[in-house]
Amino acid sequence: MSTEVSSSPQLSFRHALKGDAAAIAVLVNSAYRGDSSRAGWTTEADLLTGTRINAEEVVNLIEADHSVVLLCLQDAEMIGCVHLEKTDDAAYLGMFVVQPTRQGGGIGKQFMQAAETEVQALWGVKKMWMSVISVRAELIAYYERRGYVRTGRFKPFPSEIGDEFRLVKELQFEEMEKQLT
């Protein structure tokens, strides 16, 4: 099976390979943590410090059953990634990233549509869900514009992310979902 999923004149999408893991970790960390993340609007730099993910953890996602890391490329350069995982009758979307300097131009919208199409093709699911840090109002609004709805379900922030990494102590996740057509 080819790892190529689809392409358009501007963007192409493919499944990540183990050899992509280090670059994925750099991309994810640059989009969520530290000063480089402030170039985009998806930063968590005011909420959390430290590393979001390392290359070994990315390899684990790539190699896991019912799990895909989908890459977004522009002119062969990796500019986005998302982790997709089959869960019961749905697919979980996590680690959705577009390079900070390329945010705000419609790439995320196209990439989200590609991810939704991919989970339907891979697993035949009709629902996608995600967990969003509940204080991220602008991010929740972004997903709402993409058709995701708040479920009213919350879960605690992982305890393994200790207080030394939390700039805001009372963090929790809110689940959102979308019926796919």
By DSSP bridging, strand 90-98 and strand 127-133 are parallel
Q: What is the pLDDT along the chain (181 residues), one digit of tens a residue?
A: 345 555 444 899 999 999 999 999 999 988 765 555 555 556 554 555 556 689 999 999 999 999 999 999 999 999 999 999 999 999 999 999 999 888 888 999 999 999 999 999 999 999 999 999 888 888 899 999 999 999 999 998 766 654 555 445 577 889 999 999 8
Q: What is the pTM of this model?
A: 0.86
Task: Give the pLDDT score at 151.
Answer: 98
Q: How many residues does the chain have?
A: 181
Phi and psi, residue 164, nearest 5°: -65, -15
What is the domain count for the chain? Answer: 1
Enumerate the β-bridge partners of residue 94. Answer: 83
143-179: burial string, b at 16+ Cβ within 10 Å, e else? beeeebeeeeeeeebeeeeeeeeeeeeebebbbbbbe
Domain that holds residue 133: 4-179
CATH number for position 58: 3.40.630.30
